[in-house]
A and B are shown apart, each in its own frame.
Chain A
Amino acid sequence: MMRDPNFGFVLAAYCVAAFVVIGMIAGTLLDYAALKKSLARLSARTGRAVDDGQK
């Protein structure tokens, strides 16, 4: 496969795909982490227990 003259295009396509897929996963996970942190802080402040989707 690596001897193919267009191998660079194939490699670039798989790198772009990895970047986009990892970006979507990371974006969702980071958003969740930030929201859980905010929810925990607010719950402590208001004294109301709120389900953060993990309990």
Chain B
Amino acid sequence: MPNYANPAEFLRLARIAVPVTAALTGVLFAVGLYLALFDSPPDYQQGETVRIMYLHVPSAWMAMFVYIVMCSAALGTLVWRHPLADAAQKAAAPLGAGFTFLCLMTGSLWGKPMWGTWWVWDARLTSVFVLFLIYLGIIALWQVVEDQGKAARLVAIFTLVGGVNIPIIKFSVDWWNTLHQSASVFRLGGPTIAMSMLWPLLIMALAYTSLFLTLHMMAIRNEILRRRIKRLAMIAAAEGEAAPVAGIFPEPAE
């Protein structure tokens, strides 16, 4: 069996898998958007505003899913010293921040017409906002610590500590009295949402997941290349050819 922990093996896998998952993402988004915008009915209370749900709910799921992926990668870094774990974690953080930002923005655009306000500091909204800040903190931590091995360990610890926020987000609507509605899909007793709305929602969730898988593989590949460039630049420097390289050393003025 190929060892995907090996960067060269991973690059070979990504070369095959990225076009497949990218095509799958395109198909899922096309079907999901058609069902969400044209096939699913308006809600009897929310009217057409319910169509924001097809963007908001999957992005909320992805915001948490990406963080769980990062926690797994953090364990890979700290416990198993997996060679690709910190690359996977570093690559996932901006994507997680993107999905969380999308969740907050679409939630706000739904909240104004439905609740009469763009934002309330209730437990669900606040805990998702904290998740967004954690993502930004992780991205910043990667930038400020120069030694990448040290940065990987620090980020891994920070990520695992921040993981306590995930169950808080999930159960905030049960633990506290919130304006945000309680779970209607992943709940004991099954979903309470109509099937005509559940299908578009699930297909959009699959589209988001496939998008994440595609972009994550591409971003890990970028991280592997960044490390190769750094290593090559060090070899060049050691051989007395310390010429500047874009993105690693500043370019000389033309």
Contact = CB atoms under 8 A, between A and B. Distances in A.
Chain B facing A: main interface SS? helix
B112 A9 contact: yes
A6 B113 CA distance: 7
Contact of B236 (A6, A32, A42): A42
B224 A9 contact: no
A46 B59 CA distance: 44
A9 B49 contact: yes
Q: For chain B, which range describes its interface: under 10, 10 to 19, 20 to 34, or 35 or more residues?
A: 35 or more
A31 B222 contact: yes
B102 A16 contact: yes
Contact of A48 (B94, B105, B232): B232
Interface in A1-50: 1, 4-7, 9-10, 12-14, 16-17, 20-21, 23-25, 27-29, 31-32, 34-39, 41-43, 45-46, 48, 50
23 contacts: A1-B42, A4-B42, A4-B47, A9-B109, A10-B52, A13-B51, A13-B109, A16-B106, A16-B109, A17-B59, A20-B105, A21-B102, A34-B247, A35-B222, A35-B247, A38-B248, A39-B229, A41-B245, A42-B233, A50-B228, A50-B232, A51-B11, A53-B11
Interface of A: 1, 4-7, 9-10, 12-14, 16-17, 20-21, 23-25, 27-29, 31-32, 34-39, 41-43, 45-46, 48, 50-54
